[in-house]
C-alpha cells in the first residue's frame, strides 16, 4: 500500500472514531450547557436578543453585492461535503455549495480578502466561530439533522430568497421558518432541522455560528471542550480540505 493510501486510510479510521465517540460526548454535555445558558433553550430566538444582528441587517446589501460576484463562479464552489465529508449523509449531490469565511474559529484570509465588506461585518460579531455562504439550489431538500453542541447558536442572514417564500422553508423542531432578504433568523441547531427549497430559484444565506451566552461555569466547560475539539480529525480534515479548495479556486479564477 502506498504512503498516500495509508495516510488516507488512517484519516478515515480517525474520523470514524471521532464521529462515533465525539458526538456522544457533546450530547452528554448539551444538557449541562443548556442549564448554564443565559438565553432560552427554545428552537427559534428573537433576533433582537443579539444586538449585533442589527449590524448584519444594515449591511446586508453590501454582503449581497459581494455574494453576487462569488456566484459568478458558482460551479467552481465546493459542495458542502467536499469540505466536511461527514455531510455526505445529508447532501450526496451537488445542490448545496458553500463559500467559507470562518471555520471552527479559524479565518480564511483568502476568502475574507475576496469579500472585504462581509469580512469587516463578521469581525464585529462577538464569539463568532463559523461563517459561510450557504447556497441551496432549486429543488434541494436537506433531510433532518442537528448540530453538535448547545454551546453554539446559529444565525442565517437572508441574502437570496425565492419569491415563493412559503415553498422554501426550514423546520426547526416544531417551528416552521422562512427566510427574508436582509433579515436575521436565529435558531438552536441542536434541534432536528430540515430544509426544503421547492422553487425554481436558489436560496442563499450567510450562515453563522456564534457562542451561546452562558454563565462562567458553562463558558469554562465550553472552552475546554472546544480546545480539544479543534484538535480532532473532524476539524483538522475540514480545515485541510478548505485550504486545498481555496488554492484550486484561486487558480481557476486566475
- The predicted structure's pLDDT at residue 86: 79
Number of domains into which the chain is organized: 1
- The predicted structure's pLDDT at residue 229: 83
- The predicted structure's pLDDT at residue 239: 87
C-alpha span between 102 and 121 (Å, rounded): 13
Nearest 10 degrees: CA dihedral of 24, 28, 33, 35? 150
- The predicted structure's pLDDT at residue 24: 63
Task: Name the nearest CA neighbour of 155 among 76, 39, 29, 56.
Answer: 56
> Helix or strand or coil: residue 48?
helix
- The predicted structure's pLDDT at residue 228: 87
C-alpha span between 162 and 167 (Å, rounded): 8
- Domain containing 51 equals 3-253
One digit per residue, the tens of pLDDT, for the chain of length 254 reads 566 655 555 555 655 555 555 566 666 788 899 999 999 999 999 999 999 999 999 999 999 999 999 999 999 999 989 988 878 889 989 999 999 999 989 999 999 999 999 999 999 999 999 999 999 999 999 999 988 899 999 999 999 999 999 999 999 999 999 999 999 999 999 999 999 999 999 999 999 999 999 999 999 999 998 898 888 877 888 888 898 888 887 777 65
Read off the C-alpha cell for 191.
434541534
CATH for 125:
2.60.120.330
Task: Name the nearest CA neighbour of 201 among 218, 216, 181.
Answer: 181
Amino acid at each position: 500500500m502506498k504512503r498516500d493510501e495509508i495516510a488516507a486510510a488512517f484519516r478515515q479510521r480517525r474520523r470514524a472514531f471521532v464521529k462515533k465517540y465525539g458526538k456522544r460526548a457533546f450530547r452528554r454535555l448539551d444538557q449541562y450547557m443548556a442549564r448554564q445558558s443565559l438565553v432560552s433553550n427554545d428552537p427559534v430566538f428573537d433576533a433582537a436578543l443579539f444586538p449585533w444582528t442589527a449590524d448584519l441587517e444594515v449591511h446586508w446589501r453590501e454582503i449581497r453585492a459581494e455574494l453576487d460576484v462569488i456566484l459568478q463562479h458558482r460551479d467552481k464552489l465546493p459542495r458542502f461535503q467536499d469540505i466536511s465529508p461527514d455531510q455526505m449523509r445529508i447532501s450526496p449531490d451537488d445542490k448545496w455549495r458553500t463559500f467559507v469565511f470562518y471555520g471552527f474559529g479559524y479565518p480564511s484570509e483568502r476568502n475574507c480578502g475576496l469579500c472585504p465588506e462581509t469580512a469587516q461585518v463578521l469581525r464585529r460579531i462577538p464569539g463568532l466561530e463559523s461563517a459561510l455562504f450557504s447556497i441551496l439550489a432549486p429543488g434541494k431538500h436537506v433531510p433532518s439533522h442537528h448540530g453538535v453542541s448547545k454551546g453554539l447558536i446559529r444565525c442565517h442572514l437572508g441574502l437570496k430568497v425565492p419569491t415563493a417564500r412559503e415553498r422554501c422553508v426550514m423546520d426547526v423542531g416544531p417551528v416552521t421558518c422562512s427566510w427574508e432578504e436582509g433579515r436575521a433568523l436565529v435558531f438552536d441547531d441542536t434541534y432536528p432541522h430540515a430544509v426544503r427549497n421547492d422553487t425554481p430559484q436558489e436560496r442563499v444565506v450567510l450562515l453563522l455560528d456564534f457562542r451561546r451566552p452562558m454563565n462562567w461555569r458553562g463558558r469554562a466547560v465550553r472552552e475546554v471542550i472546544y480546545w480539544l475539539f479543534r484538535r480532532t480529525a473532524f476539524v483538522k480534515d475540514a480545515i485541510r480540505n478548505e485550504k486545498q479548495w481555496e488554492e484550486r479556486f484561486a487558480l481557476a479564477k486566475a
